[in-house]
Amino acid sequence: MKYFIFAITILLCVSCKDKKDEKKEDTATKVEQYTIEQFMDNEAVTGGSFSYDNSQLLISSNRSGIFNVYTIPVTGGDYTPITASDSTSYFAQSFFPNDDRMLLSADGNGDEINHIFLRDTTGTIRDLTPEKGAKSDFYGWAEDGKSFYYGSNKMNPKFFDVYEMDIANFNSKMIYQNNDGLNFNGISNDKNYIALAQSLNTNDSDLYIYNVKTREKTKVNSNQSGNSAQDFSNDSAFLYYTTDDGVEFSYLMKYNLKTKETTNVLQKPWDISGASFTKKGSYMIVYVNDDGKNAIEVIDTETNSPIELPDFGDQSITSVGFSDDEHWMRLYVGGSNAPSDLYTYNFETKERHQLTHVLNSDIHPEDLVRAKVIRYKSFDGTEIPAIYYLPHQATKDNKVPAMVWVHGGPGGQTRQGFSSFIQYMVNHGYAVLAVNNRGSSGYGKTFYQMDDLNHGEKDLQDCVEGKNWLATQPEIDGDKIGIIGGSYGGYMTMAALTYTPEAFDVGVNLFGVTNWIRTLKSIPPYWESMRKSLYLELGDPYTTDSVRLKRISPLFHTDKVTKPLIVLQGSQDPRVLQVESDDIVAGVRKNGVPVEYVLFEDEGHGFVKKENQIEAYSRVVQFLDTYLKNDNPPSDSTIKSTEIESN
């Protein structure tokens, strides 16, 4: 659950074979160097809802520069634009079950106040949840296809009630009023049971079944543990849920709604991160977080055996979805060195179709770098997993600078997926070590909780030890290693420059927390259900915890920063407010340290518009070229800090 709090999402994509694995250590491989414009011309595609007649898929793509919604034939062909926005990004939610109408979603330039929109058969787009300041999230369709469920905090900004909207007249009725700060986890096909979770801390939740008819709540779990509802069986007899009760990694259970008996369904050596049934119930899709990448099984529910999925060689299937009649499957396929393409597969004909080619044709796939999972020991012997990108041109005779990359969260996880930004840095001669420091998800609940109430301390030391590991690699210039991160990773960047000022040579702070007291007091009201869990992990700013929170907040210790810094921020960010970046820039500038500040007026927590991504990521690499790669970087007295605004 921690990963949701301050997570930064790097858009994943990809395709192709890595032919560089056999290069000699002492022979530099020549690669073509690409511009940021070429890297950001990779297309990002998401979604994939089948139309009622299986003729089209509804998808989102940023090919226009921002995300818009399109349809594409299931066997491949041209996109048909559904939205044509040049400012606000629109995202596909779903085709209607029995006609060509569509549900879309959008917020206000990153403010995270999502609304649900109808796109009717005339092309008219209408806001179905127009309440000002209210956030609405699509929860799914009723079994009969005549209504859909959604959550909204229009009654109380702190809590999301559950509504059902009739698609004949688009009138809504509340089916669950959330007075207790619980989170919706699913609803049964017979509409009688709602799964709800109550956050206890950032790992553990209590799981409840709410009976819509009797309005009674029944607790599912008997022990405190990490519990998450996944899906109801199609006959509404069982709830399937994941739990880590008694073990390190989450496994799949089912709960009999009548007898209240529980049964262990499936267990793996890693977390089972998701499970769901197809419309007719013939298949169950299971996702496993296998050492930082998705491992997917599609299980035939009659035989209880995995079906054979199409083979894509050295690429991985990262996501699947089915048509309602279960004749078609859509798949995303990619890896760390290629952005994920969308495919369809027909179970009757056994034919597969590639619908997208998202890698920019200017980029040669062999010039991209495949990530490698490595592990190193931290200061106390704790083993730290990390994802390592080494430039093809790096050798012991051609050493390269490096960056320690820190994910958001604090409990997020850097995964083995494609990042145009990381590949751009690597292509320009920077090794990247993406550390999954203690407190990261995906490596067991003990590891996950190891950073509680010691943020900026032991987890920071894990990052420093990552830097030390890099410095021992023969291809790395140990005197040129920086740190970069977004959100919580941005905090870690500032903590590193503040509390270990000699460890790293530069810092890149993407919308990072710098004043924990202010951030924890100003969390959005719709996080209320998780507020207590946040405070248990990080500290309660309204108690004596504030003493420690001030101590670990870089803003109050900017006098210690001596290394060049670049800060990037979106002014619409509701999670890490712009003032966090404003203040840290002002504080560090007092030291006469080179500081660059890049502010985007039309972005939130992460940059989604291509023109802004191009500006942001090119500025980062220009900064690294100047202050990290350069053997004679400009002195403080000759460099003027810069600030830009984009809109």
Domain of 492, CATH number, reads 3.40.50.1820
Looking at 354, 388, 417, which one is the last position of a domain? 354
pLDDT tens digit sequence for 148-158: 999 999 999 99
Asked if the structure places residue 197 within a domain, the reply is: yes
Q: What is the DSSP letter of 626?
A: I
Is residue 624 exposed (0-12), middle (13-18) or buried (19+ Cβ within 10 Å)?
A: buried
> How many Å apart are CA 290 and CA 270, to the nearest integer?
6
Structure token pair of residue 27: 């022979």
Q: What is the pLDDT of residues 31-51, one digit of tens each?
A: 999 999 999 999 999 999 999
* Domain span at 237: 45-354
Q: CA torsion sign, 264 to 269 to 273 to 277?
A: negative
Give tens-digit pLDDT for 357-387: 999 999 999 999 999 999 999 999 999 999 9
Q: What tens digit of pLDDT does each residue of 257-294 get?
A: 999 999 999 999 999 999 999 999 999 999 999 999 99
Mark whether 350 and 487 lie in a shared domain.
no
Quote the percentage of the chain above a pLDDT of 70: 94
pLDDT of residue 640: 44
In a domain, 460, yes or no: yes
Is the pLDDT at 15 greater than 60? The verdict is no
| Residues 336 and 381 occupy one common structural domain | no
Please give the average per-residue pLDDT across 57-66, as a whole number. Answer: 96
The pLDDT of residue 620? 98
pLDDT band at 109 (very low <50, low <70, confident <90, very high): confident
Residue 604 CB contacts under 8 Å (≥ 6 apart), including other chains = 107, 109, 110, 111, 112, 570, 572, 573, 574
Q: Are residues 325 and 419 in the same domain?
A: no
Q: Residues 384, 350: one domain? A: no
b/e per residue 486-496 (b: at least 16 CB within 10 A): bbbbbbbbbbb
The residue with greater pLDDT, 314 or 155, is 155
Residue 93 sits in a domain of what CATH number?
Answer: 2.120.10.30
Q: What's residue 22's pLDDT? A: 39
From CA 283, how far away is CA 240, in angstroms rounded? Answer: 14
Q: Does a structural domain hold residue 538?
A: yes
| Per-residue pLDDT tens over the stretch 123-149 | 999 999 999 999 999 999 999 999 999
Same domain, 336 and 373: no
Residue 179 is predicted with a pLDDT of 92
Distance CA 508, CA 129 (A): 38
Distance CA(640)–CA(543), nearest Å, equals 41
Q: If we measure between CA atoms, which residue out of 555, 582, 413 comes closest to residue 497? A: 555
**Distance (Å, rounded) from C-alpha 566 to C-alpha 582?**
12
Last residue of a domain, one of 324, 354, 384: 354
**Is there a single domain that holds both residue 220 and residue 252?**
yes
Burial of 186 (0-12, 13-18, 19+ CB in 10 A): buried
Assigned domain for 478 exists: yes
Is pLDDT at 596 greater than 60 in this prediction? yes
Report how many domains make up the chain.
2
Contact in structure between 448 and 403 (CB atoms under 8 Å): no
pLDDT digits (tens, 9 = 90+) for 434-454: 999 999 999 999 999 998 888
pLDDT of 3 strictly over 90: no
pLDDT band at 632, cuts 50/70/90?
confident
Q: Is residue 338 part of a domain?
A: yes
Residue 12 lies in a domain: no
